[in-house]
Structures are given as C-alpha cells and as structure tokens.
Structure 1
Amino acid sequence: MNKKHLSERDICTKYITPALQKAGWDIATQIREEFPLTKGRIIVRGKLHTRGKHKRADYVLFYKPNIPIAIIEAKDNKHSIGDGMQQALGYAEMLDVPFIFSSNGDGFLFHNKIATDGIIERELALHEFPSAETLWQWWSEHRGLNEQQNTLITQDYFSDGSHKVPRYYQLQAINKTIEAIAQGQNRILLVMATGTGKTFTAFQIIWRLWKSRAKKRILFLADRNILVDQTMTNDFKPFGSAMTKIQKRQVNKSYEIYLSLYQAVTGNEEDKNIYRQFSPDFFDLIVIDECHRGSAADDSAWREILEYFSSATQIGLTATPKETKEVSNIDYFGDPIYTYSLRQGIDDGFLAPYTVVRIDFDRDLSGWRPDKEMVDKYGNQIEDRIYNQKDFDKTLVLEKRTRLVAKKITEFLKQTNRFDKTIVFCENIDHAERMRQALVNENADMVAQNSKYVMRITGDNEEGKAELDNFIFPESKYPVIATTSKLMTTGVDAQTCKLIVLDQRIQSMTEFKQIIGRGTRINEEHGKYYFTIMDFKKATELFADPDFDGEPVQIYEPAEDQSPVPPEELTEPESVDGTPTPETEENGVDWEEVDIISEPEGKNSIRRYVVEGVEVKVAAERVQYFDANGKLITESLKDYTRNTLTKEYATLNDFLRRWNSAEKKQAIINELSEQGIFFEALAEEVGRQSGKVFDPFDLVCHIVWDMPPLTRKERAEQVKKRNYFTRYGEQARRVLEGLLDKYADEGVTHIEEPQILTIAPFTELGTPIEIIQTFGGLEQYQQAINELEQAIYSAEAK
C-alpha cells in the first residue's frame, strides 16, 4: 500500500504505535493516544454558545501513570517528518515534558530539551525510538534526583478506575509540588483560579505523599465549615477511616489525615489549647486552603498555627494571592511554584466565560445634592453636600435606586430564565436586606409560589445561612436569588450560578477575582456554560486592569508604624488596600455584623440617610461580549463575522475554492463556529430583514462580501432547471432528487451523512446498501454527493 494514501490515524496504527511497542513501551499503561489537553473555549453571543477548537495531543507517553515524559505529534505521509514539531512543542510546554517527537510514519524528529551535546533536534529511524527507562534516566540525571527522591516522585496518584483523572495543569501542579518536596522545599505556594480544582489537586498531592509514607500525619485547613465538610465527602473521601475532622475541645491523635476549620483551633485561650495539645512536630504536612485570606497577615490566626507547626512542610493554595504593602503570602511561602489563571481556565474551556451587562444610573454619574435643610424619611437632616456613587448605600440610600436595580435584575431574568441562580452583591447587610425586599416586590408572582425564591444570605442571619447549601446544590430549585454582602464572596461552590450582580463598589483586585469566581464553574448537566455579570457600580472596569490576570508580584513592605488606628477613625472593617475585607468568623467576630447604622447610637457611629422621593433613571446600558481570545468585542455580530472571515479568506474566490474543495461542508462550518461565528444568530438577524431562511454559505457570502443571498429552495430550483439529473439512471436520479429536497428543507450538512438513507423517502427506494450499490459503491455514491453540492453552489460563481 502506498503510504501517501494513508490517513494520519492509519500512520499511527501501522507505524508509530508498533515502533513504541518495539521500544518496550507498555500500550496499556504508558501510551495515551489522542490525549485531551483542553476542552475548547466556550464562545458566547446572546443566548447562544459554542465551543472553540480543543487541543489534543496525538500521543502522550508516561513513564508512570502520573508522570508524562514525552509528546508525539503525528502527521500523514504527505507531510514531512518534522511538520508536527511546532505543534508538539506547544503541547510539551503545557505538560512540562522534556522530550518531543514528530512523525509522518517514515521515522521521528526528536527534540531533546535537555540535550548535553548541543544537538537539540535529530532524526531517528522508526526502530531507534528510545525506551521509557532511557528517557527517565536522562530526565532524572538532568534534575539530579537520587533513588529515594525518585521513589517519592514516581508514587502513583489515586485512581480506582472511576475516579476523575487530573487535567494537564493539575498534573503539573501535583508533580511540581511533589518534586519540590522531594528536593527538600518546605514552603510551597500554588495559585489556581477558582473552579479549577484546587482541592482535588491538594488531595492528589496528599495522597501521593501519604501513600509513599513521606508524610504520615497531615493537616488540611480551611476557613469555612462548608469547605471542610465538602472536602471530606467529595475529594478526600478515599482517605476513609484514616481521616477525621477536628472539633472544638476534641482531640484524637490516632488518625493520620486531619481536617479543620481554622477557627476551631484558634481564637481564645481555650481554643488555642486544642492545637497546642498536638506537639509542634506532630504534623509532617499542612495544606492551607484559600491562604490569601487570614494567613497572609503576619499576626493572623492562621500564621500562628503555621509558625507553631513550623517543622512541617506547608503548602498554600490560593486563587488570588494577597499582596499589599503590609500583607504578603509570597513573603511567607515564596514565589508560586505553579500558576493557573482565570484567563487560562476560560481559554482552555474548563471555566465558564462571561458577558457583561453594564448599567449606569444618572444619579451615579452626576451625583445628588439635597435641598436646603432637607430631611430623610426618619426625620434626620441631611448633610448638605454632593453625594455620589461611593456614598450610595453606605452613607446615603436612594430608595428608588434600589428599586430600579431590582427591576433591571428581574427584567433580565424574565428575558432569560426566572430560575437561573443569581447572587446580588451589596455594600453591606442593610443594603442586602433592602435589596431582598425590592426583589420580593418585583418578583411577587414567584415569591407567591415559594417564599424562598429570594433570600438574604448574610453572616448575621441564621435563616439565610441555613439556605446556603440549597442555593449551592444544583438539584435544589430554591433559593433562586441570593442577596449578600461578604458571606458568599469566597468558598461558595455555586456551580449553577448564571447571574452575578454587582451593586457594590469593588476596588480590591483580590475581592473582585473572588466574586467573579462565583460564576466561573461549568455544569453541563444543568446547562451552565457561561454566566452574566450585571454591573451597576463600574466594578467591571477592573477587567481592564493589566493586573487582573497577571502573575502575582510581591510588593510586601514591612510597615514602619504598626501603631493601632485610633478608635475614632474606625468605621467599617477595611482591608489594607481600602476595601472591605471578606467576612470571617475569626475570634468569634462576624465582620458582616459590623455595619453603618441608620440611626445615631453612639459617638463614633455614622448616620445613613434614607431618602424616598428622588427619581433615578438609567443613563446608559450596554452588553459586552468577548472573542475567542478573551478580548472585548466592541463591533456588531456582523462586523465581527466580517473581520474574522477576511482574516481567514482574503477574497470571495479564496472562500469559494475552500468551500468547493471540502469533502464535507460541515467541516468548514465547524471551523468557523470554533472562531465564534454564530450562524443561527446571523440567520435570525438576516432573516428578520428579508423574511427568508439562508444556510451558512449564503450568510457568509452576503455578510462578508455583500453577495445577494439565495435561499436553499432557490438554489434547489436552479439545479432542477438545469436538468442536472439526466446523466443518472432512474433509481439514482430519484435518490439525488430526494437529497436535493432534503437540502432545501434542512441544509447541506444533512445530505452529507449516509444515515440519511435510513429515513423517508429513501426507505421506499431500498436499503442504504442497495441505494449505494445503485451508484456502483460507496466511493461513487460520495462522488455523486460532492457533484450535487457543486451544482447547488455553482450559481455563486456565475
């Protein structure tokens, strides 16, 4: 057989895989073909979404099931031996593997990142492919690993056949951490965006260290009860009876894996005695979840635990490193050993992208000043000054503004889905309660069905906090809308949350990332592929900040003056960068309970004025979309389509050549869809103007090159007028006429699949095999389909 006629898959099966087996690679445990790396970015336009092109390596070779060591990119034999190398190098960077190969079936081009002889790339014959042991030996020697270190590094991760397998970035995070510990590093920081599986990654790290007996007693710390409980019942479940949760005033030292709410072992002296019941060298390993919060400060309770158990290896997990002039976890843990950002997660298709609905009110833009000696609804004389956005809902409440926010939220849900889980972030508890009331009134019909349709979930309200699990649980219908201040900023795994409302001024990048993280999880089972951010207070301007998704940079500077703030300067709890801190329960204080009051109760309180009759109107409203690269799209859908297509095809003739030469038109349609071309939305937009239905080919030609579009029925009629079918026999002609009618009704992609022969009217003409034999066989049948498609679209060239 001529090798040039073989497909890429045939080259793999007949040449590459046999070469690997002859070199001693185990096909069951060491060779992974078509290894998935990414899922493809989700691209959103209006109510439509699609996935961009995913990345998949033809081969990933593993020394052990947890250690990828080589990449092979295969091409068919029409390509040169090295044509896949650049693609393979990109995959190798994602997996951090040192050995990269490209092949077309004739041999291999070998790229050796750790070559010591100065020759990075060389060609190898098929029989010269190196063994797994050879590659591992080269890699171990390069890193200077001894036998004991290799034993730890090669310890398998947990797998029971049904348990999920780590994604490429999780593999990197796990392996880099294990290797660092093997080489003696005891302070490690991992930065992974919310929703990318920090806890699962931590579990696999702990499992490998525990199973290898490198670490025998391990403490996992989190700052929310729900996080500890979820961890025990989900990711950490395989630890079984070796695992326990530390409760207040209860210590049992017979376990090996301990999980704790850090407040349970810190606080007053009685609480502190709990962790002091453990000797300072009791734990070999401590893993701190969300270490950007309490542990970042030098004098925090977390830091106190870490310093008490200072001999233990300590791993910090965070989505948003806390870095200010006074607070630094990089100062404590060191630079991140691995970072996987929000942008990477969205680009790879593991995190949900977002659209932004930005709404500005007239009073927010121009401010408001009270009339002379004006009083609020409680009879308090309002201080005469200009109030603007930073005052609203803190020192001044415009009740009609609150109602307008609630109205816009409700309008959006009515246009999409009244049961889409929604979190409304408010300035404080008082604001969250007023917003709850306004939303109840706007959604009176839904509240009449179930009073829990809208709930305030804040730290001071037991009824609301009791519903947090129901809000998070995808199967629970209620609550649907949650108003909050700080309680749901972090640690809330709301997989089905589709709308995040920002009626809170946010100037802290850390807090902004935490809030956005509430919507980034994908849940395909419940139709959650993307989410919407509705912004009333310009918070989304932080997306434009270059630091939004940048690498964490240490800016910690020892404070010169650590003197306490005078009591008269204390108002609301604030972080060191001037924004409210996430709610904690440290030392028994729930910071959400510290609030500005509307009635004067003491010398240091701040009055909040509540004003009834001031009109508030929408000044501007716009929807913002993001392209396949995550950049803001400012042009219309038509303009975006035109600009995208002209980058791919310089002229109409270029597009026509590509269209007519494609074996299946669906392949081109899929390629364009992966670039964010939404044919359904374009068809609706063009169809509204003309009242007609067009298929993708005509939409592209019309929108991009201004060609008059033809409907499918018009194209089908043109083919019939040309007496196209006279060259075929009666039976074949009846089949092709039926296919042409199917094209007119349903489009070109439906006639390209042989399965269409299993439905009427073709079933009246015989079985699919009999029909295909009418044309002389499958190859001749496919050729007839291709010629029919050329006839359908040939009118465009005339």
Structure 2
Amino acid sequence: MNKKKLSERDICTKFITPALEKAGWDITTQIREEFPLTAGRIIVRGKLHTRAKNRRADYVLFHKPNIPVAIIEAKDNKHSIGDGMQQGLGYAEMLQVPFVFSSNGDGFLFHNKIATDGVIERELSLDEFPSPEVLWQQWAVHQGLDEQQTDLVAQDYHSDGSGKTPRYYQLLAVNKTIEAIAKGQNRILLVMATGTGKTFTAFQIIWRLWRSKTKKRILFLADRNILVDQTMTNDFKPFGSAMTKIQKRQANKSYEIYLSLYQAVTGTEEEQNIYKQFSPEFFDLIIIDECHRGSAAADSAWRNILEYFSAATQIGLTATPKETKDVSNIDYFGDPIYTYSLRQGINDGFLAPYKVVRIDLDKDLTGWRPDKGMTDKNGNVIEDRIYNQKDFDKTLVLPTRTQLVAKKISDFLRQTNRFDKTIVFCENIDHAERMRQALVNENGDLATESSKYVMRITGDNEEGKAELDNFIFPESKYPVIATTSKLMTTGVDAQTCKLIVLDQNIKSMTEFKQIIGRGTRINEDYGKFYFTIIDFKKATELFADPDFDGDPVQIYEPGPDDPTVPPEDEEPIIIDEGEDGEEVIIDFDPEGEGEDEGEGTRRYVVEGVKVKVASERVQYFDAEGNLITESLKDYTRKTLTKEFTSLDDFLRRWSSAEKKQAIIEELAEQGVFFEALAEEIGRDYGPFDLVCHVAWGAPPLTRRERADQVKKRDYFTKYGEQAQRVLEALVDKYADEGVTQIEETQILTISPFTELGTPIEIIKDFGGLDQYHKAIQELEEALYSA
C-alpha cells in the first residue's frame, strides 16, 4: 500500500482509528470524529449573507461522553507527522484540553501541556498511543481531584436520544462548574451572552449534580413568569414529576426540583415571604437566572433569599454582570469561572451578527435654540438655552423629528421586508406612544389592514403587554413593529427580530448589551441569520468601548455600610407581582420617563421645526469584532489580498484547481459575494474576472468575450466532429451561465446536448470519462488564457 496516495480520510480509517482502538479507546462512546466546534461565522454585506467554513477537529477523545481530554489532528501522508500540530493546538485551546496529537499515519506527535518531566512534545509510534486510563489519570491529578471528586466530575450529562449534545462552550461551562463544586466552591458565576443557551447549560449542571445525588433539592430562580414556564416545558422537561413551580402561598416540600419567580416567594410583609416556609438548609443548590438584575444589589429583597439559604451552593447566570460603583455581583459570587461573550458567539456562528445603519439628524448634531420669548404648542414660554440630543423627547419634543425617524424606519422596511419584526427603543413612554402614532401614519396601508401592525409595548399599557408573546413567537404575524422604552430591553426572546432601532440615549454598557441581545438569536427556519441596528442617538459608539466584550472585572467592592441605590441607567426594569399572582412590570424611571416628570420639570412641544438627515452610513462587524465602514468592493479587495499574495498567486491557484467551483465556494465562504459584485460591476462578468478586476484592477472580460476568443482560435479542430459540437455547445453554455455549469457531467442531460447523443455516447466520443474531464480542463485553460 502506497500511503502517499491515500487521502486524509483514508489515513484516519486505516491507521489512526485502529491505533486508538488498540490502545483501549471505545469507538462508540469515547472517539468522536470530525467533531464540530463552531457553526461558521455568518458574514453579511448588503442584503446578502453567507456562512464561513465551520471549525471541526478530526478527532476529540472523551474519557466519558461529557469530558474531552485530547485532540487529534490528521493529515495525509504527504505531510510530516507534526504538520497538524498547530491546528490541533488551536482546537485544544477552544476546548481547553491538555493533550494534543498530530498524525500522518506513520505515528503521532504528542503535545502534553501538563508534562511533569519537562518534555512537552515527543513522537510516538502507532502502537504507543496512551490508553484512556493513562490520560484520564494525568488529567485528574493535574486538576487536583481526588477519587470522590473525580467520580462527580465524570457523571454523564443528559441525552434525550436525539443526538443533541452541548456545544463546546456549554461543555466547558458545565464541566468547569461541576469541577468547582467538586472542589467545594459554593458561589459560582457563569457569564454567557444572550442566546447562547444559559438555561440548557443550567439544566445539564443540575442534571449531573442531581443524578449523582450530590445535590438533592434544587431551586431555580428567575424573574419572569414566561421564563419559568418556558424552562419547565422545554429544557427542564426531563425532570418530570420531580419538578414543581412554587406559587404564591404554596410551599409543598415533597419535590426535588423547584422553579420560582423571585417575587413569588418574597414580599414586603413577613407572611408574604414564602421562602421562609422552607428551612434554611432545605435547598443545597440554587441557580439564579439573570443575576445581573435586582439580585446584584445587596439590600434587595431578592438577595434576602440567597442569604437565607446561604448554606446552599449558589450559581449565578448572566449575560451582563452588573458592575457599578454601587452594585457588584462579582463581589457576591466571585469572579466568573467561565465567560462566553457576544463577540465569541458571533465569530463562532452561534449568534447572529449585525450591521449598523448610523443616521445623524442635523438638530441632534448642532442643537436647537428657541427665539427669545418663544412659546411651545401649549403656550409655555420655552427656556432660552441650546437644546441638544440628550434633551430631545425628554424636556423638548420636536414632532417633526419623530416623524422623520418614523419615515427612515419605514423606508428601510420597504427596502427589505415590511413584516420583519422590529423593536424601536424610545426615551420614555410618551416618546414610545408618539413614535407609534408616527409609524402608523407612515404605514397607513398595513396599519389599516391590522391595528396590531404597530403597537406600543410598555409597562403601563395592558393591551401592549398582552401582545408581547405574539411579538416573540415566530409563528405570529402581528405585531410587526413594537415601540417601547425599557420593557423589552431584557428577557424577551425575540428569535425573529431583524431590526432594532435606537432612538434612546444609552450610556449603560449593561443595558446596551441587553438591547443588542434582543437581535442575536438565529432562526434559520424563518430566514433570520443577521439583524440590523438603525442608530439615531450614537448609542453604537459603545461598540468602540474596549470594555464592550472584555472579561468582567470588579470595579468596586461595596462595604457593609455603603449605600446601594441603583444608579441611573443601570437597572432596566422593576418587576413585581400583583395580588392575583400575575406579574406587574413597570418601567424603571430614573430620569422621569413617564407622563409626570416630577415637580418643576416641563416638557416643551415645539412644532414646525425643520429636521433633516445630516449623514447616513452603513457599518459592518468584521472578523476582529470591530464595526467598520466599507463598500462591498473594499471588503472584497481586502478579503482577496489576504487569501492571495498577488494576481500571479491567484492565477496559479485558479489554473491548478481541478474544478473552479471549489475556489468559488471557498471564496464565497469568506464573504466574497459574487452575485452582488456582478450587480455592481456587470452581470455578464464571471467570478474569475470579478476577482481580478476588484482585487488587482485588471480589465474584465465578459463570459461572451472569452467564449468568442476561444472560437476565433480554431481551438476545436484537434477533436473529432462530434466532440467539437459538444465543446462548442459547452462554450455557449459558459457564455450564458458560467464555469460551474460546464464542470458538471449532468449538463449532458439537458438541451442541446440531448440532441447530440446520450451522456454515455458523448463521453465515449472523447474516449472515456477521464478524457472527457481532461477536455473540460483544457477548455477552461483556453477560456482563461486571456
């Protein structure tokens, strides 16, 4: 057997997998081949999107199905034994495993990050691959786990038989939590971006601790009824009859898994504190969902629950840890043991990326000053000063500004899809109502068709709140546009929200990340791969903040006597529960969002002030996580010059490729949108000419021009009469449809080839299939020799 002729897959099947089985690795439970790590980042330009190639490891070895311990990166035998090591080390960093192997079928290069003898890399023969027991023992010793702790860490996660397994970052979050608990840590913080599966991760943590009987009574706390109910019917469903929901005035102690609203077990009166019906030692594990909200404040009623059950292990889940000079949940839970950020989620392809349409209005930039003695709509004399962006819709209302914003939103939807779910974040409830009216007037045809096309969804409006579920559910057509102030900043799982409009001053990083999180979920069934942010208030400048997706750090340690009043802009909403047990959700109003701005505060309404767009630009999220402003051509040029060192390098790669389709697909995965470039430069140009022209300025030739040049050269005369007819027809097909069509033999099953014979007869005219493929390659060389 000549190894040099074997493919990488053959090397795996014939050499690597047998070596693993011989070393004692179980092929069904411990060896995972082509293990997917990422989904492939979604790249967006204009209205088009594509997925980059996903990252996957050739092998991941598991001690148990839940604990990865080693990576193997395979190469074909034309490579050296260590050629896959650097790639394998990258995968190992993602999965945080200490053992990495590279192989070309001759043996293994073994990289041991925790080697005790100082030799980090060594070569092993195929017969020397270490057994599962050897690697597991080294791993456990390095982790500092004794035998009892190791048994807990090795407990299996739940599998429903559907093949759904935790993503790599969920595996890490679960395993790190279990390891921390095994070592006796009782306060744990997990930071995971909105939409990355915090509840599923929590379920797997609880399942392993519950099944191992390490934790026998568990409490899951959330702050929304809908969150508790969805959790019970979805992720937590396998707990079945062992699970219950704590209602007001109910404290049944015969269950093992309890779910509850914070406010269902707390109250201002002692008899309302249902949690005190349980003994302080009753629960031995408490999971606190969305712990960046009220539970972060040391004097909150929610924190009282945690302190009452202080003997329990407590795990905080959050997308945005609250860290201000007054409030710290890092102070309570400790530093996060694992963080998976919004940026990581987007780069891995698990979260939807965004493009930003930044619209600056002239009065926002230059401000507005009233004439001396000028009165507003209600006859009030307007205070003489310059009013700027921070004043608009708070102390000063310009109806023409609201109308212009509504028009720009509506124009965008007309260019994309008028039924794309949209959230418009306004300064306050009054602003949200005026924006609703303006949007209704801008979309009179659809608003007449359904009064729910545009709805105000704020804490004071029962009709709007009643439609919140319909806005969230992908199956519900209405409402389409929701105007809000604070109510929808968090806890709203709007999977199909494609447009977020910011007409609100946002200075809080916590609130900003929560708002952006409303759009980050992907729903491929409904065509949701990315979302757009239209920003009227410069809020997206926060993307440039170095702390936007940095690791959480504690900036303040509150002392025992320090005040803990939530600062302005940091607490999105207050949630309480009414007498009937239903949630009462009220907009938090630090600056006076409601109709009553407080004593001595007046809101001027000034009509007739002309407002116009000063500038408008589109920005995209690049591979490094930065918002950039660039055209499709600029992005394509940058991508191509990264991939190819020069035009000659591209020409070599193009001419040596057996199929040009492979290069076209590879570039498309990196965001080279050939269809969009053709729209911009010319639909008659093929991918080859588009690349050469955009990246290196070469004059492009149309497909027809290339086809005509080949015909003028009497290229076909070296073939027989029938083969010439086939090749001439292929050239015409190339001119009409492009190179990828002529590379597939299926083209012989359509007209005009069916008039020249059957596919078998046509291929026979060339002397066989190999000769036919060779003729196609030579034809492509002739087409591109120009």
**TM class, shorter-chain normalised?**
over 0.9
Which amino acid counterpart does residue 751 of structure 1 have in structure 2?
I
Provide the rounded CA distance (Å) in 1 between the counterparts of 2:493 and 2:229: 12
Q: Deviations over 1:256-276 (max 9, x none)?
A: 111111111112225643100
Provide the rounded CA distance (Å) in 1 between the counterparts of 2:279 and 2:195: 35
Query: Which stretch shows the higher mean deviation, 780-789 or 8-17?
Result: 780-789
* 1:459–1:593 Cα contact (<8 Å) kept: no
Aligned to 2:662, the other structure's residue is in SS state helix
Question: Structure 2 length as normaliser, TM-score?
Answer: 0.96
Match of 1:534? 534
- 1:729 and 2:720 matched: yes
Question: Structure 1 length as normaliser, TM-score?
Answer: 0.95
Residue 649 (structure 1) shift: 2.7
Match of 1:639? 634
Match of 1:667? 662
Query: Which stretch shows the higher mean deviation, 263-272 or 111-120?
Result: 263-272
Match of 2:108? 108
- 1:611 and 2:612 matched: no
Which amino acid counterpart does residue 422 of structure 1 have in structure 2?
T
Provide the rounded CA distance (Å) in 2 between the counterparts of 1:3 and 1:102: 16
* 1:193–1:345 Cα contact (<8 Å) kept: yes
Match of 2:335? 335
Match of 1:513? 513
Query: Which stretch shows the higher mean deviation, 393-402 or 643-652?
Result: 643-652
Match of 1:581? 571
Match of 1:570? none
Aligned to 2:424, the other structure's residue is in SS state strand
Q: Flag the 1:188–1:107 CA change in 2: closer, same or farther, 3 A.
A: same
Provide the rounded CA distance (Å) in 2 between the counterparts of 1:31 and 1:755: 38
Residue 98 (structure 1) shift: 1.3
Q: Deviations over 1:61-98 (max 9, x none)?
A: 11111111111101111110000000000001111111
Q: Deviations over 1:125-165 (max 9, x none)?
A: 11111121221122112223222212211111111221621
Equivalence map 1:146-165=2 (5 Å): 146-162=146-162, 164-165=164-165
Match of 1:682? 677
Which amino acid counterpart does residue 498 of structure 1 have in structure 2?
K
Provide the rounded CA distance (Å) in 1 between the counterparts of 2:53 and 2:118: 36
Match of 1:717? 708
Match of 2:581? none
- 1:366 and 2:357 matched: no
* 1:597–1:606 Cα contact (<8 Å) kept: no
Provide the rounded CA distance (Å) in 1 between the counterparts of 2:626 and 2:746: 40
Provide the rounded CA distance (Å) in 1 between the counterparts of 2:597 and 2:689: 71
Provide the rounded CA distance (Å) in 1 between the counterparts of 2:384 and 2:593: 19
Match of 2:75? 75
Aligned to 1:451, the other structure's residue is in SS state coil
Q: Flag the 1:126–1:560 CA change in 2: closer, same or farther, 3 A.
A: closer
Which amino acid counterpart does residue 46 of structure 1 have in structure 2?
G
Equivalence map 1:388-467=2 (5 Å): 388-467=388-467
Which amino acid counterpart does residue 275 of structure 2 have in structure 1?
Y
Which amino acid counterpart does residue 644 of structure 1 have in structure 2?
T
Provide the rounded CA distance (Å) in 1 between the counterparts of 2:697 and 2:592: 60
Provide the rounded CA distance (Å) in 2 between the counterparts of 1:430 and 1:182: 52
Provide the rounded CA distance (Å) in 2 between the counterparts of 1:138 and 1:583: 49
Q: Flag the 1:215–1:564 CA change in 2: closer, same or farther, 3 A.
A: closer
Residue 37 (structure 1) shift: 0.6
Which amino acid counterpart does residue 452 of structure 2 have in structure 1?
K
Aligned to 2:57, the other structure's residue is in SS state strand
Which amino acid counterpart does residue 467 of structure 2 have in structure 1?
E
Residue 372 (structure 1) shift: 2.3
Q: Flag the 1:561–1:27 CA change in 2: closer, same or farther, 3 A.
A: closer
Aligned to 1:64, the other structure's residue is in SS state coil
* 1:598–1:607 Cα contact (<8 Å) kept: no
Q: Flag the 1:15–1:780 CA change in 2: closer, same or farther, 3 A.
A: farther
Q: Deviations over 1:715-735 (max 9, x none)?
A: 112222222222223343333
Aligned to 1:585, the other structure's residue is in SS state strand
Gaps of 5+ in 1: 566-574
Equivalence map 1:70-149=2 (5 Å): 70-149=70-149
Residue 658 (structure 1) shift: 1.0
Match of 1:38? 38
Q: Flag the 1:427–1:284 CA change in 2: closer, same or farther, 3 A.
A: same
Provide the rounded CA distance (Å) in 2 between the counterparts of 1:365 and 1:346: 32
Q: Flag the 1:147–1:601 CA change in 2: closer, same or farther, 3 A.
A: closer
Equivalence map 1:480-491=2 (5 Å): 480-491=480-491
* Residue in structure 2 matching 1:701, options 670, 681, 692: 692
Equivalence map 1:321-332=2 (5 Å): 321-332=321-332
Provide the rounded CA distance (Å) in 2 between the counterparts of 1:230 and 1:649: 49
Q: Flag the 1:186–1:561 CA change in 2: closer, same or farther, 3 A.
A: closer
Which amino acid counterpart does residue 633 of structure 2 have in structure 1?
K
Query: Which stretch shows the higher mean deviation, 490-499 or 609-618?
Result: 609-618
Q: Flag the 1:449–1:266 CA change in 2: closer, same or farther, 3 A.
A: same
Equivalence map 1:27-426=2 (5 Å): 27-162=27-162, 164-270=164-270, 272-426=272-426
Q: Deviations over 1:465-499 (max 9, x none)?
A: 11111101011110000001111100111010000
Which amino acid counterpart does residue 760 of structure 1 have in structure 2?
S
* 1:267–1:586 Cα contact (<8 Å) kept: no
Residue 601 (structure 1) shift: 8.8
Aligned to 2:498, the other structure's residue is in SS state strand
Provide the rounded CA distance (Å) in 2 between the counterparts of 1:215 and 1:600: 50
Provide the rounded CA distance (Å) in 2 between the counterparts of 1:679 and 1:480: 32
Aligned to 2:460, the other structure's residue is in SS state coil
Q: Flag the 1:606–1:38 CA change in 2: closer, same or farther, 3 A.
A: same
Q: Deviations over 1:389-448 (max 9, x none)?
A: 111111111111111111110010001000000000011111111111111111110011
Provide the rounded CA distance (Å) in 1 between the counterparts of 2:508 and 2:673: 36
Residue 357 (structure 1) shift: 0.7
Provide the rounded CA distance (Å) in 2 between the counterparts of 1:753 and 1:132: 46
Q: Flag the 1:773–1:310 CA change in 2: closer, same or farther, 3 A.
A: farther
Query: Which stretch shows the higher mean deviation, 651-660 or 737-746?
Result: 737-746
Equivalenced residue count is 780
Q: Flag the 1:108–1:593 CA change in 2: closer, same or farther, 3 A.
A: closer
Q: Flag the 1:466–1:246 CA change in 2: closer, same or farther, 3 A.
A: same
Residue 463 (structure 1) shift: 0.9
* 1:248–1:271 Cα contact (<8 Å) kept: no
Provide the rounded CA distance (Å) in 1 between the counterparts of 2:628 and 2:575: 41
* 2:496–2:526 Cα contact (<8 Å) kept: yes
Query: Which stretch shows the higher mean deviation, 638-647 or 6-15?
Result: 638-647
Residue 760 (structure 1) shift: 3.1
Aligned to 2:273, the other structure's residue is in SS state helix
Residue 779 (structure 1) shift: 3.0
* 2:394–2:593 Cα contact (<8 Å) kept: no
Q: Flag the 1:696–1:279 CA change in 2: closer, same or farther, 3 A.
A: same
* 2:327–2:564 Cα contact (<8 Å) kept: no
Residue 641 (structure 1) shift: 2.2
Provide the rounded CA distance (Å) in 1 between the counterparts of 2:593 and 2:166: 49
Query: Which stretch shows the higher mean deviation, 759-768 or 92-101?
Result: 759-768
* Residue in structure 2 matching 1:745, options 736, 739, 751: 736
Which amino acid counterpart does residue 529 of structure 2 have in structure 1?
Y
Residue 771 (structure 1) shift: 3.9
Residue 370 (structure 1) shift: 1.8
Provide the rounded CA distance (Å) in 2 between the counterparts of 1:205 and 1:376: 59
- 1:495 and 2:495 matched: yes
Match of 1:785? 776
